Amino acid sequence: MSAAVPAAVSTVDTSWLDAIQWDAAGLTPVIAQEASSGKVLMFAWMNREALAQTVTTGEAVYWSRSRARLWHKGEESGHTQRVLDIRTDCDSDVLLLSIEQTGGMACHTGRHSCFFQRLTGGVSDGRWESVEPVLKAPAEIYQHKP
Amino acid sequence: MSAAVPAAVSTVDTSWLDAIQWDAAGLTPVIAQEASSGKVLMFAWMNREALAQTVTTGEAVYWSRSRARLWHKGEESGHTQRVLDIRTDCDSDVLLLSIEQTGGMACHTGRHSCFFQRLTGGVSDGRWESVEPVLKAPAEIYQHKP
């Protein structure tokens, strides 16, 4: 006599990942905002795997469109981002991360924020002016250790 | 005897618009951050004309992808955005607006910010939780006047 074996109850619920409206390329835009200062430090993209890894590790993992691979932010520079909070918007098609920025620099140019070009002037004489200091030269950030 | 007529000197310089790395659809992502609170209120898109109109009028004009037309934010709700500052990032492919939000509501759901869904739980039991109050019912915001 064989007793019916109950199917294992799955405890993995990834419907929160399905709720995101991934675009045609499987990506969603991501805004990284520094928790302590409120400054928007950078903008990047995630796919499903990047978001899952971000939640699992607690550090920001993006999808690099130029390199077409997962990108653990800070993997070369050491400037990782600890993720404190993740939100999505009314359309569930953008993510907003609240982060702590290791090293105080999010930008590969060595600046605190990537948003360092400010528009001055009007529509007929506009100009993008660099308004944030370089804190560390990129050559120093990305030097390869022997 | 005919004198050479000097060509009129053009005073319109739109190279600042050309500097933006518009995507294949002619768009760029835009983050709207409230100047007074530092909160990120919404995310949208602009094309070249939307950005030019934003600079000309001092109020945020986006490109509505769903309606495929220029969208003067607040044109129906009255919840316009006064633009205090415009920045772009290191790659010149995202815009960050510093704004004042008329009516204290950026979201069509009647909330202050569109980013009202917060992730709770881990990768295997995540859930998007609504964490911001509705300040005004959408039916009241968008009622059509007789």
pLDDT single digits (tens) A57-114: 999 999 999 999 999 999 999 999 999 999 999 999 999 999 999 999 999 999 999 9
Find tokens 């997962």 and name the residue: A70
Q: Is residue B96 part of a domain?
A: yes
Q: Is residue B15 part of a domain?
A: no
Residue A93 DSSP SS3: coil
**In chain B, what residues touch A121 (CB-CB under 8 Å)?**
16
**In chain B, what residues touch A31 (CB-CB under 8 Å)?**
31, 40, 43
Task: Report yes or no: A59 and A82 within 8 Å, Cβ to Cβ.
Answer: yes
Half-sphere exposure of B146 (CA within 13 A, CB side): 0
Q: Measure the CA angle with vertex A9, ends A5 and A14; round to 5°.
A: 150
Report pLDDT for B5. 57
**Token pair recorded at residue A26:** 């499987």
CATH of the domain at B126: 3.10.20.810
Q: Do A55 and B88 touch (CB under 8 A)?
A: no
Q: Is residue A99 part of a domain?
A: yes
Q: Is residue A93 part of a domain?
A: yes
Report pLDDT for B1. 47
Residue A4's pLDDT band, with cuts at 50, 70 and 90, is: low
Domain enclosing residue B103, as ranges:
22-141
Closest CA to B93 of A55, A34, A45, A92: A45
Residue B145 has pLDDT above 80, yes or no: no
How distant is the Cα of A76 from the closest Cα of chain B, in angstroms? 18
Residue B146 has pLDDT above 90, yes or no: no
Residue A29 has pLDDT above 90, yes or no: yes
Residue A55 has pLDDT above 90, yes or no: yes
Q: Is residue B83 part of a domain?
A: yes
Q: What is the pTM of this model?
A: 0.92
Q: Is residue B70 part of a domain?
A: yes
Residue B12's pLDDT band, with cuts at 50, 70 and 90, is: confident
Please give the order of strands across the beta sheet that includes B40-47. Answer: A127-130, A117-120, B81-88, B95-101, B27-34, B40-47
Q: Which among A89, A108, A128 is the nearest to B115, CB-wise?
A: A89
Average pLDDT, chain A: 93
- DSSP code for A59: B
pLDDT, greater one: B76 or A9: B76
Report pLDDT for A3. 53
Q: Is residue B4 part of a domain?
A: no
Nearest CA in chain A to B29: A29
Number of domains in chain B: 1
ipTM for the complex? 0.91
Q: Which among A39, A55, A114 is the nearest to B122, CB-wise?
A: A55
Q: Is residue A14 part of a domain?
A: no
Report pLDDT for A1. 47
**Token pair recorded at residue A74:** 């800070």
Find tokens 């691979």 and name the residue: A69
Most B CBs within 10 Å: which of A57, A117, A120, A141, as the mutation test of the B interface? A117
